[in-house]
Amino acid sequence: MDTNAVLDIAAVALGLAAKLAAPALITALVVGFTVSLLQSVTQIQEVTLSFVPKAIAVALALVIAGNWMISELVVTTHELFARIPQLLES
């Protein structure tokens, strides 16, 4: 296995990790910003008011995007398994 193959696998892994984390992170960002804006407008500074909606929204995003996330992971795993003979011969 040469250096280019290792770097290619690492790039695929990092891209997949970013793709799989995006739905939860973007949802948490949007909900957190919205709740913070609401808190600053109403001057309510309650900690649970920012945590509970964010946790519910992230859980909902994972339920909605979970099937897509698993299918992306399975496709990438199959592609990596298909590369094994090519990696062993070099």
Q: Where are the domains of the chain?
A: 3-89
pLDDT of residue 59 exceeding 80, the answer is yes
- Cα of first residue to Cα of last residue in the chain, in angstroms, is 6
pLDDT of residue 52 exceeding 80, the answer is yes
Q: In 3-state terms, what secondary structure has residue 90?
A: coil
Task: Please state the pTM of the whole predicted model.
Answer: 0.82
pLDDT of residue 47 exceeding 80, the answer is no
pLDDT of residue 68 exceeding 90, the answer is yes
pLDDT of residue 87 exceeding 90, the answer is no
Q: Which of 37-41's residues contact partners 24+ apart within 8 Å by CB, and which partners?
A: none
Average pLDDT over residues 30-46: 89
